Chains A and B, each alone.
Chain A
Amino acid sequence: MAAAASFKRWLFRLYGPESAPIVLTQRRVYVLPTKAGLTYAAALGFMLIGAINYNLSLGYALIFLLAGLGLVALLHTFRNLVQLEISPGHVEPVFAGDSTCFGLQVRNRRDLGRFSISLHCEGGGTVSTDLAASATTSVSLPLATRRRGWLRPGRVTLETRYPLCLVRAWSYVEPDMRCLVYPRPEASAPPLPLSATGEAGGARTGMGTEDFSGLRTHQPADSPRHVAWKAVARGQPLLTKQFMGADTAQVWLYWRELPPDMGVEARLSRLTRWLIDAHARGLAYGLRLPGKEIPLGQGARQYQDCLEALALHGN
């Protein structure tokens, strides 16, 4: 198994992630007939036997023309993929269990259109795209996430059977990009331990819905009720209205205060849930993990730092 894998790595020149942009040079594009292509070849063989048996001179001509067509198809399919340029694009962090999308920029370096190019990463869904002459397009490769931490798309396969379905050309790229996968938030977690935290001061649900304190960029976890819809209507990006209570409640999320029998992932999962809740309620929160502490804070930056710390815990 290992030998097969290393053979494959050698054959397809897979030497780990490559720095962008990756150009699919001639040596990186492989072509083989598809099942339909093999059937086509077999049909030509039968036709040739018939032409020989009946001495059909035009039959020979037809068969040879079709054989030539097969070779030309090989070339066209190859050309449809070669000299394509791939560069990593945008990736959004997601929670484990959700599906992420690896954005890839695909650039057509030739002033001829390309058609039916499909991309997929191992274990992910397939995306198909056409490319106009000299155009650049971005595709999003969906990939399901299971575990927290960094997720790489791994080996991305680009393939095409255009134009005649008789030949498959494919190439492997390993773009240097990664997606941060946050721990999966616990589904039915106990409520946010406001009272359990000594330093939290008054356990006031200082969600602060009274006093508007400002706008900040919208985070996926923000409640839609706090979106500044008026600003959206004016054409501005999604913003979240922030409110301050009389005094903002604080919450510390402690690793060690969780029940001792909980496993690592379960703890992270619960902390993630609480973090989301705390953020949604506009609390100031801090996170203390073994070997890592994030002081009290608020806002998008704080939220991301905490989630990242949870995602990368133990790495």
Chain B
Amino acid sequence: MATSTPGKVRGARRVSPALTRSQELWLFACAVVTLLPDVEYAPVWLTVAVAAGIVWRLALWWRRAALPSRWLLTFLVVAGSAGIFFTYRQFFGKDPGIALLILFLALKLLEMRSVRDGLSVIFLCYFLLLTHFLNEQGIGVAGFTLTALVVVTAALASLGHAGRSVAEQLRLSAVMLAQATPFMLVLFLLFPRVQGPLWGMPADAYSGMSGLSDTMSPGSISNLSLSGEIAFRVKFDGEAPPKPALYWRGPVLTLFDGRTWRAGARQGKVSLPDTASGRTFRYSVTLEPHNKHWLFALEMPGTLPPDAVLARDYQLLSRMPVRSRIRYEMQSRLDFVPGAEESEASLQSHLNMPANNPRTRALAMQWRSESATDEALIRRMLDHFRQENFFYTLTPPLLGENSIDQFLFDTRRGFCEHFASAFVFAMRAAGVPARVVTGYQGGEQNPVDGYLIVRQSDAHAWAEVWLKDTGWVRIDPTAAIAPSRIEAGLASAVPAGEPLPFFVRADLSWLRDIRFRWDAVTNSWNQWVLGYTPQRQREVLSRLGMREPDWKAMTAVMAALCGLLLLGLTFWTLHKRIHADKTVRAWNRLSRRLARVGLARKDWEGPADYARRVALAQPELARPMETIAALYIELRYGKLGSKATQQQLHGLIANLEIAAPK
């Protein structure tokens, strides 16, 4: 046999086919959708340049013009990279990295010709979708990413098969993503989580986190109060303390230069209050990242979260800056007064002050001489705030060098930091050890999920004075001037018409209701999706019945579940729709039955021939076989095969009586 022996024609490298016009459109669409959220974060010049590039590329597509030359593209790469370098002064790090990815995606659009280029665009888009989470991980971003994912995957599908309609591609993509979701859930739950970072983070990784700082100057807290952002959420185990008792202790400030308060030395051990007695409250705090060391707890903290210490000034400090949302269990003694054992040197440091603000000093000295005890002195000072013409306002006038003097004697308008600062200064001037405590006061109970929400607008500053035989006693001067701030919150305390954050306003109750519901959803999202840390994973898995959820066990269960899922999906996709045609099955059934009486259908035999042969062998079957064959031919090859015909055929075949051959 002279079979030809062909050479290896296929040995030639597969050349990636050129993109069709519809595929190009898909790729433009997926790039645009992917880049949309970057408009908010990328440098303006890059946004404009990329938008111009995409418009240019679309124009080229429209006019079926040639793509730009390699030289021009090289120039654009160099120019764009230089621009990014001059914007960020580096190439490494979160923001310049994202900017470079955006640049490469735009340039890839300008040089994409083949399907392989199209695949690069798609993979870049997937990568960029991930980088959006560096900026935000809320439910909205997740929803947007899912939508974008459908578009990008549809574009990928268009590379696999160009000639289908937009709706079909989107549908295919959505179906495939839906089928991928069970895998995602299993992997999300069971993939052994590793606590990052794996390597040193770029310096800018945590930029843009807001919160208290460890300095306080006039205006710093009132600025923060304009933000409706959430600082932390609290869930009480049992009853919550009344609102006026909710003092969330943050940075304690002892050093003062006449204008700015700073934290002092924190070293030194203190003892935790005994939480077994007294008014102890148990609760868990879910703290938003603020990139600082301090943790917040009700005064005074009675337990320590893991990896945290208690400073000498009863401030909770985490060993690592809080760079991701964390959750910790706490207990606090509300009636505990610390500092009974304060050393002389420490007390002395709480009397230091600069040699400015002479009028306040003089006033303090005068009060000192008029008051018999420290308590009387404190009362005298608070009465001064109450009786004189002081205003509690979010928009205090700017203060100069002798800020305390100016505030107490001239402007008399201030926010909590002004009152706390003036009070502590006056106390020190009168010889009473005192310090500023910053933190948050109050919070808002969400009736939907029972969480107490503490926002940046709840930021507060108060004072602590050291009284002999008692210890550090909290004095809140703001409570003297604006008691409703402590009782009811900021909105009721500032005069009407002040620029309150939108979320704090009291006059829109329906809006508040929606906001509460939304926040409850956001909170569960944070707790269960974003807060799914290695620790949480262990908790959840052991609650689900895994005895020792180490990475080996998790990987094993994960692999097993994925295998099962794959098997199930395979079975479903393969067996759901493979069926020989009903007609054919009935016909085959008939020939099997006839085969038992020696009348098996030959492979080549058509229905009419077969019917004729059967009729010859068994004349009593002639009539029904003729009808059956006619129906079969009609159903298989005709155009009018209806359900009724189908049923007729099935009935005839089922009722056919085949006698054994004589």
Contact = CB atoms under 8 A, between A and B. Distances in A.
Contact of B137 (A47, A56, A73, A130): A56
Given A68-B183, A163-B172, A315-B1, A59 B196 contact: no
B2 A161 contact: no
B574 A148 contact: no
Given A123-B8, A147-B2, A165 B160 contact: yes
B506 interface: no
Nearest to B182: A68
A81 B578 CA distance: 12
A99 to B, nearest CB: 11
Contacts, number: 192
Contacts of B127: 43, 46-47
Interface in B190-227: 191, 193-199, 201, 205
A219 B573 CA distance: 49
Given A79-B573, A143-B6, A146-B6, 15 more contacts: A50-B130, A53-B199, A54-B196, A57-B531, A61-B142, A61-B188, A64-B183, A69-B176, A71-B183, A109-B578, A130-B163, A146-B4, A150-B1, A162-B161, A164-B153
A54 B131 CA distance: 10
A72 interface: yes
Interface stretch (A8-16, A111-119, A245-253, A284-292): A111-119
Contacts of B196: 52-55
20 contacts: A40-B123, A43-B126, A50-B130, A50-B131, A53-B199, A55-B195, A55-B323, A55-B533, A56-B134, A57-B532, A60-B188, A66-B180, A68-B184, A75-B569, A122-B10, A146-B4, A162-B160, A163-B157, A164-B156, A165-B119
B3 A65 contact: no
B304 interface: no
Contacts of B141: 58
3 closest Cβ contacts across the A-B interface?
A123-B6, A149-B2, A68-B183
A134 B581 contact: yes
B156 A144 contact: no
B142 A58 contact: yes
Contacts of A162: 160-161
B3 A151 contact: yes
Interface in B556-594: 562, 566, 569-570, 573-574, 577-581
Given A65-B184, A150-B1, A58 B6 contact: no
Contacts of B197: 53-55
Contacts of A304: none
B6 A83 contact: no
B584 to A, nearest CB: 10
A111 B182 contact: no
A124 interface: yes
Contact of A145 (B4, B9, B131, B570): B4
Nearest to A19: B603
Contacts of A143: 6
Interface string B129-147: 1110110010001100100
Interface of A: 26, 36, 39-40, 43, 46-47, 49-69, 71-73, 75-76, 78-79, 82-83, 109-112, 115-116, 120, 122-124, 130, 134, 143-152, 154, 161-166, 181, 315
B176 A73 contact: yes
B572 to A, nearest CB: 9
B240 interface: no
A163 B160 contact: yes
Contacts of B324: 55
A57 B137 CA distance: 8
A134 B581 CA distance: 9
Contacts of A54: 94, 133-134, 196-197, 201, 205
Contact of A111 (B157, B176, B195, B577): B577
A71 B574 contact: no
Task: With a 10 A CB-CB cut-off, give which of A57, A75, A154, A161 has the most chain B CB atoms.
Answer: A57
B569 A72 contact: yes
B493 interface: no
A49 B127 CA distance: 12
A164 B160 contact: yes
A123 B184 contact: no
Contacts of B195: 55
Contact of B3 (A112, A150, A164): A150
Contact of A71 (B6, B177, B566): B566
Interface in B137-179: 137, 141-142, 145, 149, 153, 156-157, 159-161, 163-164, 172, 176-177, 179
Nearest to A151: B4
Contacts of B194: 52
Contacts of B531: 57
B19 interface: no
A201 B577 CA distance: 70
Contacts of A36: 116, 119
A43 B156 CA distance: 15
Interface in B37-74: none
A47 B566 CA distance: 23
A207 B9 CA distance: 44
A46 to B, nearest CB: 8
B130 A65 contact: no
Interface string B437-462: 00000000000000000000000000
A161 B577 contact: no
B471 to A, nearest CB: 40
A59 B161 contact: no
Contacts of B160: 115-116, 161-165
A76 B130 contact: no
Contacts of A144: 6
B595 interface: no
